[in-house]
Amino acid sequence: MPSLDYPRQGVTPPVLHILVDRTKYRTYLRAMTEMPNLLDATGLLCPLPVLKARKRLNGLAAGETLTVMADDPAAIVDVPHFCTETGHELVSSTIDGATQTYVIRKAG
């Protein structure tokens, strides 16, 4: 068996996987199951909140709503522009501190 003294030239270390204790994140997991049409894009920068919203909206039926939470300052302009360009309805937009919440109804 080869020794595992890294770094060596031309040899990459094995990939380490991080295990998450799901019992510590019950609130998060409960929110994900109770609100399947919630996209938490906080921490993501332009254009990722809009790109992820587009991807999630593709999986929804016409008339369903998607709630998007973001904290990127550019989302204030990007999300309404995205809705206008794609024909989706921006039902509401609220700002609470640094977090913005948008409710988008998928066009049909």
Report how many domains make up the chain: 1
- Domain CATH number, residue 44: 3.30.110.40
Q: Is residue 67 part of a domain?
A: yes
Q: Is residue 97 part of a domain?
A: yes
Q: Is residue 75 part of a domain?
A: yes
Both tokens of 52, joined, read: 């992820």
Cis peptide leading into 49, omega within 30 of 0?
Answer: no
Query: Which pLDDT score, from 0 to 100, does residue 108 have?
Result: 86
What is the span of the domain harbouring residue 66?
A: 37-105
Question: Residue 12, class by beta-carbon neighbours within 10 Å (0-12 exposed, 13-18 middle, 19+ buried)?
Answer: exposed
Q: Give me the catalytic one of 46, 48, 60, 90.
A: 46
The stretch 80-89 carries a mean pLDDT of 97
pTM of the model: 0.68
Q: What tens digit of pLDDT does each residue of 21-32 get?
A: 555 555 555 555
- 46 noted as active-site residue: yes
Burial 82-95 (b: 16+ CB within 10 A, else e): bbeeeebeeeebee
